[in-house]
Amino acid sequence: MQETAVTVDPNITDPAESTSAAQETSAPDATGHRVGVAVVGLGGAVASTMVAGVELLRLGAVGSAGLPFADRTELTPYESLRFGGWDLDPADLAKAAQVHQVLEPAQLDLVAGHLETLTPWPAVADPRWCRNAGGANVVEISSLRERIARIRDDLQRFRTEQELDTVVVLNLASTEAVPPDTTFLADAAALERAIDADDPAVTPGVLYAYAAISETCPYVNFTPGAGAESPALQHLAEQHGVPIAGRDGKTGQTMLKTVLAPALRSRGLHVDGWYSTNLLGNRDGEILNDPDSMASKVNTKGSVLDSMLGYAVDDHIVRIDYYRPRGDAKESWDNIDLTGFLGGRMQLKLDFLCRDSVLAAPLVLELVRMVVEAHRRGESGAQEQLGYFFKSPVTRDSRPPEHGFARQEQTLNDWLDGR
Ligand code: DG6
């Protein structure tokens, strides 16, 4: 296993300490506000890493490396967050984390007692939209209205049992295919009709978003699936006064693309082609072995270049290969062909030996803090200032999104500073 972004404090070695510390988590944050996070895909590599990371922070066993907004102490403290959520796999989070092999064994030992207390709720699934995802922990209801009611019941129970003021719904589920026809998301009335008609095009991701918004829970879609970008759900979110954000987390290769492309443009270097490939062996990669799920991911990964460069790159190629030996240790490789002054040809190569979930987990924690802040400020609907986090940022009125990383970061910091 490669070195992780966090290290274990050797002074904390007793797993029992983590269990007792976990019980202190019912305390509200410094503002007296209790925030819960209901995760779609709680047993996944990103979610289990996120929950373990918060517990390690609470124990003082790790520092804030990798958490880009750790100095924003006005936001909800990471350690005060409570977690629950759904997964197709009924295994508790200690077992899930053991399977995903993202944590160092010493880290897992410290938090196993806490992770064992978290068992996913049965999930709403539809194999038509995510063929490679399987598991026995499913809600056996076919009517869409009843499925929504079940998700809402789970959210109400979580809120009551944990005495929460705000519950954020965070979608970290496996990549769904995007329905070929999404006219049912064109407006709120069309979505209501589709739900009433049990339209098979209404994906589980849309049901979770609909249920979250109906329960006035801020909603974050970290997956490429359809939902938060749609006029129907944006309108619903405005009606219910909740912020929504998405879609598809920009964590590694695409993050670097959105740093580099504006710089190449700024220096007048023409991008003739950009070949990007990924090897990964985690469950995310396994799901992407299905061509329809892959199409969703390639769509969001492939959408970023042209607007930053100001011209279409015909040879922008995105490939993803599921390659088991790598596990969560993804390798993303890029070759960029460039033309400069006097027609001089150049190549730029990037080889990022990264950790898929180690990159993603801190970003979803920051997103939770951001949407809680937006909610506190009374903001609702699509949160464009959060584009920094996404490959395909939601915008109001279908405006083209800003993809450039530096501009996105500036916009976000301006918003945080109230400018
Ligand atoms: C292949 O890229 C697998 C994906 O799930 C990514 O690892 C993830 O979405 C992050 O993508 P990116 O392009 O920001 O590295």
Q: What is the pLDDT of residues 282-301, one digit of tens each?
A: 988 998 988 888 998 998 89
Q: How far is the CA of 4 from the centre of ligand 1 (A)?
A: 18
> Which of 83, 80, 39, 86 minimizes the C-alpha distance to 219?
39
Dist CA 125 CA 120 (whole Å): 14
Between the alpha carbon of residue 135 and those of residues 21, 125, 145, the distances in Å are 31, 9, 22
Which residues does 187 contact at the CB level (< 8 Å), separation at least 6? 231, 232, 235
10 Å CB burial of residue 394 (0-12, 13-18, 19+) is buried
Backbone φ and ψ for 221, nearest 5 degrees, come out as -105, 100
Residue among 161, 146, 203, 175 nearest 38 (CA): 161
Selection from 72, 71, 74, 108 nearest residue 93 by Cα: 108
What is the ipTM for the molecules in this complex?
A: 0.92
Compute the distance from residue 255 Cα to the ligand 1 centre, in Å: 9
pTM of the model: 0.92
Superfamily holding 253-354: Dihydrodipicolinate Reductase; domain 2 (3.30.360.10)
Class for the domain spanning 16-249+358-416:
alpha beta
Nearest to 247 by CA among 234, 256, 259: 234
Report how far residue 359's alpha carbon sits from residue 58's, in angstroms, rounded to the nearest whole number.
Answer: 20
Question: How close is the Cα of 115 to the center of ligand 1, in Å?
Answer: 26
3-state secondary structure of 336: strand
Q: Please give the radius of gyration of the chain, using alpha carbons only, rounded to the nearest integer.
A: 21
Mutate which of 253, 300, 363 for ligand 1 pocket (most atoms within 8 A of beta carbon): 253
Q: Please give the pLDDT value at position 304.
A: 92
Kindly indicate the confidence band of residue 4, based on its pLDDT and cuts at 50, 70 and 90: very low
Q: 32 versus 180: which is more confidently predicted?
A: 180
Residue bearing the CA closest to ligand 1, atom 5: 284
Ligand 1 is surrounded, with C-beta below 6 A, by 249-255, 278, 280, 284, 297, 301, 320, 330, 332, 356
| 171 Cβ neighbours under 8 A, 6+ residues apart | 40, 41, 205, 208, 209, 219, 220, 221, 222, 223, 225, 227, 246
- Ligand 1 atom closest to Cα of residue 248: 9
- Work out the average pLDDT over 9-29: 43
**Which residue is it, tokens 């509200």?**
28
Instruction: State in Å: Cα 402 to ligand 1 middle.
Output: 19
- Residue-wise pLDDT for 342-386, tens only, equals 999 999 999 999 999 999 999 999 999 999 999 999 999 999 999
Same topology between domain 16-249+358-416 and domain 253-354: no
> Each residue of 142-173: pLDDT tens digit?
899 999 999 999 999 999 999 999 999 999 99
Residue 252 alpha carbon, nearest atom of ligand 1: 15
Domain boundaries defined on the chain: 16-249+358-416, 253-354
